[in-house]
Every structure is written in structure tokens, then in C-alpha cells.
């Protein structure tokens, strides 16, 4: 017997921010061992970025950068390819199609969640953000970790479906299902655009 929990779709509440999780060359290019070519995900992010900029709404990017050997050492021991994400590498740079402009925040992180060990929550609170529109890579990894932590920091979280991606289609679908059931509204990019204040 299946029990479906009742859940409420909250939609955009108050002031939304766009959070582009790890839309960096290391993840958007198959030339990097961590990455996969995903032009459709990049294009969906570009649409959202243009809409947020046109309305003067907050935009935040994240990247993964390791400055020292002792940062996230267990994570890196599990996934040695992460060691290419050094400050001077092209892989930590935001994808050329989505370059931050003046006034947009770029948060450096070392773990999966954009909140863990970063100033993201304080920065969002300073911008009076209530709702996070989360995009980026990968659905089953850093996106999911960020979505769960976003909820745990009391933000309304919305995942823009076509603007997230994963190299594994089954993991992508399963994580979208889980996030929508528990932590966030998973909605189409067009629906996000229609709801923007």
C-alpha cells in the first residue's frame, strides 16, 4: 500500500535569487574527467540568468576550488579527479556562456553543498532573499546537497528542471523525484520565468 505524503507547492515567496551551482568548465566540458558536455543545461541557465539580470534580482554562482591539500581530503581521496580543481586551472572558471558580471557573487566551496563551510547563507540574508531558484550540476550531487541545505536554512527552494543535469539519466530522474517529494518544487524553466516578480 503506498502512502503519498501531502505536500504544498509554495511557488516563489518574497525575493528570489538564482543560484547556479558549479556551472564551471570542469563540469560543463567532457575535456575534464569530472565533466560532461551539456549544452542544453547551459542554455537553460542562460535563459534564467538573462531574466534575473533584466529584473535586477540577485544572482549567485558557485565553484569548487581546492587551495590546500587538507581541504576536503576524504572527498578528494574518494574522487581523485577533484584534485584538478586548483585556483589556477581553467576548470574552476564559470562556463564562458554564463560569466558573472559586476555585483554578482561567486562563492568558492570545497564540498557538495553550496552552504557547507561557505558564506552563502549570510550573503543571501544580506540580500533579503526568501526563495532560491537552484540550477546547475550535478542533480544527484552538489545540486541535491544544496537543495537540502537550502531548505534547512529556511529558504523556499525551487529547482529549475531543464537547468540541472547529471551524467547519469537514472540518477537525475530519481533525484528530481526525491527533491520534489520532500525538499523543493521541481518546475520547468518556463514556469519559473512566469512566476518571477
* Residuewise pLDDT in 10s, the chain (197 residues): 455 667 888 899 999 999 999 999 999 999 999 999 999 999 999 999 999 999 999 999 999 999 999 999 999 999 999 999 999 999 999 999 999 999 999 999 999 999 999 999 999 999 999 999 999 999 999 999 999 999 999 999 999 999 999 999 999 999 999 999 999 999 999 999 999 99
Please tell me what DSSP assigns to residue 24: B
Domain annotation covers residue 7 = no
DSSP track, 130-161: -EEEEEEE-IIIIIHHHHHHHHHTT-EEEEEE
**Which of 32, 38, 84, 142 is an active site residue?**
142
Task: Write the CATH number for 32.
Answer: 3.40.50.850
Domain annotation covers residue 6 = no
Quote the pLDDT of residue 8.
Answer: 85
Domain annotation covers residue 4 = no
Domain annotation covers residue 145 = yes
Catalytic site includes residue 84: no
| SS3 state of residue 84 | helix
Domain annotation covers residue 86 = yes
Domain annotation covers residue 119 = yes
Domain extent for 77: 16-195
Helices (H), the chain: 25-28, 39-55, 73-78, 120-126, 144-152, 169-182, 189-195
Domain annotation covers residue 182 = yes
- The span from the CA of 148 to the CA of 164, in Å, is 15
Domain annotation covers residue 90 = yes
Domain count for the chain: 1
**What predicted TM-score, i.e. pTM, was given to this entire model?**
0.95
Amino acid at each position: 500500500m503506498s502512502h503519498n505524503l501531502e505536500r504544498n507547492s509554495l511557488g516563489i515567496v518574497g525575493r528570489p535569487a538564482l543560484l547556479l551551482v558549479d556551472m564551471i568548465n570542469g563540469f560543463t566540458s567532457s575535456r575534464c574527467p569530472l565533466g560532461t558536455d551539456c549544452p542544453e543545461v547551459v542554455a537553460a541557465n542562460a535563459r534564467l540568468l538573462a531574466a534575473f539580470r533584466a529584473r535586477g534580482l540577485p544572482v549567485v554562482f558557485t565553484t569548487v576550488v581546492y587551495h590546500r591539500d587538507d581541504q576536503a581530503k576524504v572527498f578528494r581521496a574518494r574522487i581523485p579527479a577533484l584534485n584538478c580543481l586548483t585556483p589556477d586551472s581553467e576548470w574552476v572558471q564559470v562556463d564562458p556562456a554564463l560569466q558573472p558580471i559586476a555585483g554578482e557573487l561567486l562563492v568558492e566551496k570545497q564540498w557538495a553543498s553550496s552552504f557547507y563551510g561557505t558564506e552563502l547563507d549570510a550573503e543571501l540574508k544580506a540580500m533579503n532573499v526568501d526563495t532560491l531558484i537552484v540550477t546547475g550540476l550535478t542533480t544527484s550531487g552538489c545540486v541535491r546537497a544544496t537543495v537540502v541545505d537550502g531548505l534547512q536554512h529556511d529558504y523556499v527552494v525551487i529547482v529549475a528542471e531543464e537547468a540541472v543535469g547529471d551524467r547519469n539519466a537514472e540518477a537525475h530522474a530519481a533525484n528530481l523525484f526525491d527533491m520534489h517529494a520532500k525538499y523543493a518544487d521541481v518546475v520547468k524553466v518556463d514556469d519559473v520565468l512566469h512566476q518571477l516578480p
